[in-house]
Amino acid sequence: MEIHKETLLASLPAEWPEDLLPQIQDRVARSGAKIIVLDDDPTGTQTVHDVTVLTESSVPGLVSAFAEPEAAVYVLTNSRSMPLADAQALNRCIVADVKQASSATGRGFVLVSRSDSTLRGHYPGEIEAIVDELGQDYDATLLVPFFLEGGRFTAGNVHYVAEGEWLVPAAETTYARDPAFGYSHSDLCTWVCEKTGGCTAADQVASISLETIRQGGPDSVTEELLQLTGGRVCVVNAVSYRDLEVFVLGLLRAEAAGKRFIYRTAASFVRVRAGIAPRGLLASRELVAEERAGGGLIIVGSFVDKTTRQVGRARERFEDLHLIEVSVPDLLASDTGDAEVARAVAVAEQVLARGDDAMICTSRELVQGVDGQASLEIGQTVSEALVTIVRRLSTRPSWVIAKGGITSSNIATEALGVARARVLGQAVPGVPIWRLGAGSRWPRLVYVVFPGNVGGDDAVADMIGILRSEQPG
């Protein structure tokens, strides 16, 4: 049942009064360990700034990242777009490369499996693959899906998604009806039982409560974590960044005492675990195109209702925004797919070349397969078509927005040839902006990785306005 956000927050104990980030930063610096974030789509960089993101996990690339002074590096897996077996194989391969890079540099590491704050993704399969490849016993897997910027809160072990001023239990949202990663439970202990096929009973899932975090502080968190053994699963409740700070400091103390944990988290945890201080939103002047050859380009692959509303608002605000709708049924049909791609390329090329902004958008009707696997394959086909369209463009855009996690990953790696990028920060909360590396197709391009499930109805329009050096409306 949904609950008003203020009602829930008012029912909780007061936040822990002390700013703990300096203590976290000190412990992270003294440990020297590199935090390796295995990100199942590129939207996981949505809370950090001034860090490197790699789109492949070669040992040389990782060795270079280990040598950088920053505490964290992201390694993009895009595994949410893959069948489970492929996702597991990829995670094993990356972990093996990380182990080699760590050995070569003499720098230790900590792994974070970053996934969706609305609980979609290959859980527990990816965690099982990571633990297997690491070859070590772990005391517990910590589940931390809190993501403030996207309105995801966990209280009383129930995970909520904010819709305006209301908090909706996650299983009652459209995200829970995802054809590949759907679920029925919002209570995370029961969700674990569901996702493990009953292998982990709900009453065997531990949790760190908000009462422990807010009334007992880091010492109480440490005490409870020290009791976890045997690879248990532990849910972490949080509704604010201060809650995360309390938990992370307690976690670092428990790890210093010898405990081993694997993290399955949303994006907010990474910033705190890495000791990264918050920064303000990026301004238009920080995102000026370094090379302007054409108009801006927006690629929309996400099919969720939020994206559809955002696209509609952007078109209302910017009458000069040229929409190029790509028919998904035509892309899926063997006799029309190539022609639909060619049409979109031709129109987009004309729009960009005259300096106007183009939005290439898949048709909004969701086309599903007969099961989760078939739906993933449909998504892959559509994504490949969008990649082909961008790859065939000859005019360099001034900037690119890619809407949707899988879409933004595939456009970056397959259409733009990105091996390495720098996360600049966010201009809209929860929406990461990259500066593409020297080896990419369009070096130094501003690339906006826009999650499908983030932002209000005006968020895409606001982002376009910022890139056009206009104030949000």
324-377 tens-digit pLDDT? 998 888 888 878 888 989 999 999 999 999 999 999 988 866 666 657 777 777
Token match 């995370």: residue?
A: 188
* % of the chain surpassing 70 pLDDT: 97
Rounded Cα gap, residues 354 and 261, in angstroms: 54
Token match 């969701």: residue?
A: 366
- Domains of the chain in start order, with CATH, are 3-273 (3.40.50.10840), 284-467 (3.40.980.20)
Phi, psi of 165 (to 5 degrees): -90, 5
Whether the per-residue pLDDT at 473 is higher than 50: the answer is no
What are the pLDDT digits (tens) for 42-90? 888 999 999 999 998 899 999 999 999 999 999 999 899 899 999 999 9
Q: Quote the DSSP letter at residue 187.
A: B
Q: Given this model, what pLDDT does residue 472 score?
A: 46
3-state SS, residue 300:
strand
Phi, psi of 222 (to 5 degrees): -60, -45
User: What is the model's pTM?
Assistant: 0.89
Task: Name the helix (H) or strand (E) containing 376.
Answer: helix 372-392
Rounded Cα gap, residues 23 and 271, in angstroms: 14
Structure tokens at 161: 């998604």
Rounded Cα gap, residues 353 and 209, in angstroms: 56
